[in-house]
Amino acid sequence: MKITIVGAGAVGSLWACRLAARHQVHLWTRHNTDQCEIRFQPLGEEKIQTWPFKANDPTQLAQADIVIFTVKAFQLHAALATVEDLLPPSTPIVVMHNGMGTHDTVLNQLPDHPILYATTAQGALRTEQGVTHTGLGPTRLGAMNLAGKQYQHLAAVFDQALAPCQWLLDIRLALWQKLAINCAINPLTAILQCRNGHLALNEFTPQLTQICEEVAAVMSAEGYPTTVTDLLEQTSAVISATAANKSSMNQDVYHQRTTEIDYITGYLIARADSHGIAVPANRALWQQIKQLEQHYHDH
Ligand SMILES: NC(=O)C1=CN([C@@H]2O[C@H](COP(=O)(O)OP(=O)(O)OC[C@H]3O[C@@H](n4cnc5c(N)ncnc54)[C@H](OP(=O)(O)O)[C@@H]3O)[C@@H](O)[C@H]2O)C=CC1
Ligand SMILES: CC(C)(CO)C(=O)C(=O)O
């Protein structure tokens, strides 16, 4: 297959190097270059691999069998704008990011394309030295519009590159489940500048319970019935599985970058408001992260 990846950061580079073993992968970046070399360290290996890629070629973009967007949620609109006029409307688009709330923009911006969303629990870290595959986890893929439903076979392509990948009939459920975990772990670890495992301490149980209670109420109102017990169990499992990790929001705050809070807790708040559900614990966390961002963006 001919695959273009838009956003060669940590996740984009991980998928690029893994897909390139069997497919022709081309990168679309925001840098003025026609080639990119990715230094990639596979999971648990010492040796660093070097993968050369062609980049930013409008012809290769137009001929792609799929275009995968691995930019952050708040970068998606601008990234789509750089490719929308270059793609035939038959090209399927796969969007892979944490958080929710971009799908309406994508469906409006590219109304004729098959649109798919993916959520991944694979871990990748980008440093000056290159990109390291830091953790294994499932990827879930599904259609966001009718045309996207014809692309179920892409789950096998993703699975072959970086297992496991599962096709879901309702990808929104998977996106909500990941959002719930991100609402619980990301803002707290960013504010406290702690590793995910720190939240396993008993002192965090009341706060995590309140966050999950609010998320469960909103998810249920959205048509994805769940309970605080289920969400707390899933959150605890991720806290222990990723105990040594610094969450993405923790790292964004540390490096004084824009966070994905508006697409994680912010999305939850927007949906809560539309149902008239009070979410004070999540709203307080959203405000604290916005204040931190504002503080470092102002200085
Ligand atoms: N890292 C991880 O382990 C995981 C991340 N995720 C999620 O995946 C998403 C991506 O995260 P991650 O890879 O870590 O983030 P990165 O910041 O490493 O990657 C984003 C990439 O997108 C590029 N980009 C931004 N705007 C454009 C544009 N207009 N055109 C082309 N490229 C663009 C950035 O360019 P530049 O190089 O110039 O900054 C960067 O290379 C996030 O939503 C994250 O939460 C999900 C699971 C795990
Ligand atoms: C699951 C978790 C919390 C892992 O760190 C994550 O998705 C993130 O850091 O954004």
Q: Rounded to the nearest whole angstrom, what is the distance from the C-alpha of residue 165 to the centroid of ligand 1? A: 20
Alpha carbon distance 176, 168 (integer Å): 13
Peptide bond connecting 164 to the previous residue in cis, omega within 30 degrees of 0: yes
Domain end position, chosen among 169, 196, 223: 169
pLDDT of residue 298: 86
Residues 155 and 180 grouped into a single domain: no
Q: Which token pair is 255?
A: 């490096």
pLDDT of residue 265: 98
Residues 145 and 206 grouped into a single domain: no
What CATH number is given to the structural domain containing 294? 1.10.1040.10
pLDDT of residue 217: 98
Residues 110 and 222 grouped into a single domain: no
Residues 203 and 250 grouped into a single domain: yes
Could you tell me the sign of the dihedral formed by the alpha carbons of 161, 165, 166, 168, in that order? Answer: negative
pLDDT of residue 299: 78
Q: Which token pair is 74?
A: 């708040």
pLDDT along the chain (299 residues), means of 10: 97 98 97 96 94 98 98 97 95 98 94 97 91 93 98 98 97 98 98 97 98 98 98 96 92 96 98 98 98 91
ipTM of the complex: 0.98
Alpha carbon distance 185, 238 (integer Å): 9
Ligand 2 site residues (CB inside 6 A) read: 98, 181-182, 185-186, 196, 238, 242, 245, 247-248
Residues 64 and 144 grouped into a single domain: yes
Query: How many structural domains comprise the chain?
Result: 2
Protein residue whose Cα sits closest to atom 39 of ligand 1: 9
Is residue 130 within 6 Å of ligand 1 at its C-beta? no
Residues 210 and 109 grouped into a single domain: no
Residues 187 and 165 grouped into a single domain: no
Residues 10 and 155 grouped into a single domain: yes
pLDDT of residue 288: 98
Domain end position, chosen among 133, 150, 169: 169
What strand order describes the sheet that includes 115-120?
Answer: 123-127, 130-135, 35-41, 49-55, 24-28, 2-6, 66-69, 93-96, 115-120, 139-143, 165-167
Is residue 75 within 6 Å of ligand 1 at its C-beta? yes
Q: For residue 159, what are the domain limits?
A: 2-169
Domain end position, chosen among 150, 169, 188: 169
Residues 117 and 212 grouped into a single domain: no
Residues 144 and 183 grouped into a single domain: no
Residues 139 and 181 grouped into a single domain: no
